[in-house]
Amino acid sequence: MVDPISTSGIRPRVTRPGEDAGVTVQGSAVGAAASAVPTAAGDSVKLSPAAQALPEELKSGPPVDLQIVAKIKEAIAEGKYPIDLEAITESLFENYLELVS
């Protein structure tokens, strides 16, 4: 059973013609749909240089071997990728038991 999403207490922000519907984040506009909380005109966010700096391990690129990912995608598309349903089921069930205990 899926619980319905309740929107009680949430009022959409209504903008008038010529009114800015977004928030300025470092010179770029972010629309009101991206913001869950209505904001006053002129709100802004500024990140420190430390927050903007990439960790050393990410400067060389993503921490994923893209060649291996491409090979796995190809194998899945061709139906040649081995899938151990029993191992997946066991792992999911173990994770479930950890969550409920």
Evaluate whether residue 80 is within a structural domain: yes
24 located within any domain: yes
Q: Is pLDDT above 70 for 61?
A: yes
Backbone angles phi, psi at 28, to 5 degrees: -115, 145
Q: Are residues 42 and 62 in the same domain?
A: no
The verdict on 48 and 66 lying in the same domain is no
Would 77 be classed as within a structural domain? yes
Q: How many domains does the chain have?
A: 2
Domain that holds residue 74: 55-101
Residues 60 and 100 in one domain: yes
81 HSE (CA, 13 A, CB side): 13
**Which of 56, 57, 34, 58 has the alpha carbon at shortest distance from 45?**
34
* Minimum mean pLDDT range among 1-5, 30-34, 45-49, 81-85: 30-34
Q: Is residue 9 part of a domain?
A: no
Instruction: Tell me the C-alpha distance between 32 and 13, whole Å.
Output: 8
Q: What is the tens place of the pLDDT at every residue in 21-54?
A: 554 444 444 444 444 556 667 788 888 888 888 7
pTM for the predicted model, two decimal places: 0.33
Q: Where are the alpha helices (DSSP H) in 2-84?
A: 49-52, 66-78
